[in-house]
Amino acid sequence: MLLASLHRRDIHRVLDRIKERGSISMSSRTFTDIRAMLSWAVERGYLDNNPAARMKETPTVKPRERYLSEEEIALLWPALPKFKKPVELALKLALVTGQRIGEICGMTENELDLAKGIWTIPAERSKNNQSHTVPLSDMAQRLIAEARTGGRLLKCTPDRIAHVIAYHMESLPVKGWRAHDLRRTVCTHLAKLGFSPMVIGSVVNHRQVTKAGVTLGTYVQYDYAREKHQALDAWADRLSAIITGTESKIISLHGAAAG
């Protein structure tokens, strides 16, 4: 699009797509960047007027609290195959690993060490620009094996997944959820299993938890790899029990919940 033809409706279209996938803060930051860029263009004479100048700031929206209960998970999991395979597997991996849907969609073969059961998300693909190691449960490895075709494993994008979910929502047994809510679901159920906020933060790469303050940010350099492995294995066992309607085996949390 030519800069001179840019209209505020075009900006709204971009921001709306970001908000539809649940990234309210990203929408706000994007709007701020666009408006600053266009102000610069006016100052330098590339534009006569800034189309974003009269647009209101993206309103602060209360963070979503939606997560899936065990009953909802039991209903939704068997319904996911109605989506095309890449979307189905991406959503299942989000629910098994607790990682961001964009990071899952971008997963590549060279990020995986299946012999060690590890997926390493490089810094350039991580939202907080920090490399993140994800222990892979047996359930996660089975889903990855199903997706492996070489190169990028899952031929889908977060925007595509958001569109597919919205399109099929009325026919799904569980309503009112988004892909990012699956990440919140994992965090919530890990807490119910007894894992500490520190361990949960380490699982989902939330550095505002794991590196908050001088003590954690500077003096604590432990990576919680063992506890992350325990947490995701325990969740996979519980998830399997939820899906099959059986009781999961009891996992010892000795040392894991203490964080």
Distance CA 146, CA 85 (A): 9
Domain boundary among 63, 85, 107: 63
Residue 112 pLDDT grade (very low, low, confident, very high; cuts 50, 70, 90):
very high
Domain boundary among 11, 45, 63: 63
Does residue 183 surpass a pLDDT of 60? yes
- Give the residue numbers spanning the domain of 81: 70-244
CATH number of residue 187's parent domain: 1.10.443.10
> Are residues 91 and 7 part of one domain?
no
Distance CA 187, CA 212 (A): 18
Per residue in 212-244, pLDDT (tens digit) is: 554 555 555 577 899 999 999 999 999 999 999
Q: Assess if residue 229 is contained within a domain.
A: yes
* Helix H or strand E encompassing 16: helix 8-20
Q: Assess if residue 239 is contained within a domain.
A: yes
Does residue 249 surpass a pLDDT of 60? no
Domain boundary among 38, 63, 88: 63
Q: Assess if residue 256 is contained within a domain.
A: no
Token pair, residue 196, equals 């500490």
Distance CA 47, CA 6 (A): 10
Q: Assess if residue 115 is contained within a domain.
A: yes
> Are residues 142 and 59 part of one domain?
no
Residue 64 pLDDT grade (very low, low, confident, very high; cuts 50, 70, 90):
confident
